[in-house]
């Protein structure tokens, strides 16, 4: 799948799993503009699933420091890659056991997104 197709498909699949894309960071364009350097196609999608974000913020108000969930789409040497953050690993760092189940549910949804692409 081409890079533009993968970006579009990622957004579509995120939406199917209840995520909205709050931010789109075009790293290639930003690096060219700010540093005048060439970089591969690279998009960071900041995704949020409002019900889960609300639950998580109720359990840990400082959690906003780790939101939204990021998913990246990039190309390298003619191949396209898609990757997502692992919420279970990130939430372990917070040390709040109330987040464990929420993180597992969000991770399941993100796995479905990746598998569908």
Q: Give CA 9 to chain center in angstroms.
A: 13
Q: What is the pLDDT of residue 10?
A: 98
Asked if residue 90 lies in contact with residue 66, where contact means CB atoms within 8 angstroms, the answer is yes
Contacts of 30 (CB under 8 A, 6+ apart): none
Q: What is the pLDDT of residue 64?
A: 92
How many structural domains compose the chain? 1
Range of the domain at 78: 3-116
DSSP letters of 6-61? HHHHHHHHHHHTT-EEEEEEEHHHHHHHHH------EEEEEEE-HHHHHHHHHH-G
Q: What is the pLDDT of residue 106?
A: 97
Q: What is the pLDDT of residue 49?
A: 97
Q: What is the pLDDT of residue 75?
A: 96
Q: What is the pLDDT of residue 19?
A: 97
Contacts of 100 (CB under 8 A, 6+ apart): 88, 91
Q: What is the pLDDT of residue 58?
A: 95
Q: Averaged in consecutive runs of 10 residues, what is the pLDDT profile of the chain (117 residues)? A: 97 97 98 97 97 96 93 96 95 92 96 96
The enclosing domain of 9 has a CATH number of 3.30.310.70
Q: What is the pLDDT of residue 34?
A: 97
């Amino acid at each position: 799948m081409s890079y533009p197709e993968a970006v579009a498909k990622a957004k579509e699949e995120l939406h199917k799993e209840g995520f909205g894309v709050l931010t789109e960071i075009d790293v290639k364009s930003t690096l060219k503009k700010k540093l005048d350097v060439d970089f591969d196609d690279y998009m960071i999608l900041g995704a949020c699933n409002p019900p889960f974000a609300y639950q998580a913020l109720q359990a840990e108000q400082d959690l906003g420091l780790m939101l939204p969930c990021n998913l990246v789409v990039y190309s390298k040497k003619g191949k396209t890659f898609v990757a997502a953050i692992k919420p279970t690993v990130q939430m372990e760092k917070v040390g709040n056991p109330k987040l464990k189940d929420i993180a597992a549910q969000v991770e399941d949804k993100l796995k479905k997104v990746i598998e569908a692409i």
